[in-house]
Amino acid sequence: MKYREVGATGVRVSEIGFGGGGNAGLMVRGTAKEQQSAIGRALDLGINYFDQAPDYGDGISETNLGHALKTFGAHPIITTKVEVRSQDLDDIAGHIERSVDASLHRLQIDCVDFLQIHNGPLMTRPALSGRSYRHLSLEDYLRPGGGLDGLQRVQHAGKARFIGIVTRGNDGAAARQLIDTGCLSLINVSINLLNPSASIRPQGMRVGQDFDEILGYAAAHRVGTAIYSPLAGGLLTDQAVGGGAPHPLARELAGPDARGAGLQQARAFRFLSRELDPAAQTDDHNLTEAAIRFVLSREGVTVVLGGFSDARQVEQAADCAAKGPLSNVNMTRIEDVWRANFLLEL
Q: Which of 56, 133, 141, 217 is catalytic?
A: 56
Q: Which of 203, 190, 196, 192 is nearest to 287 (CA)?
A: 192
Rounded Cα gap, residues 110 and 265, in angstroms: 44
Rounded Cα gap, residues 119 and 125, in angstroms: 12
Backbone angles phi and psi of 101, in degrees to 5: -60, -45
Number of C-beta neighbours around residue 49 at 10 A: 28
Report the DSSP pairing between strands 3-5 and 12-14. Answer: antiparallel
Rounded Cα gap, residues 303 and 319, in angstroms: 14
Helix ranges (DSSP H) in the chain: 26-29, 32-44, 60-72, 92-107, 138-142, 147-156, 172-180, 214-220, 238-241, 256-267, 287-296, 311-319, 328-339
Has 56 been annotated as catalytic?
Answer: yes
Q: Which residues are catalytic?
A: 56
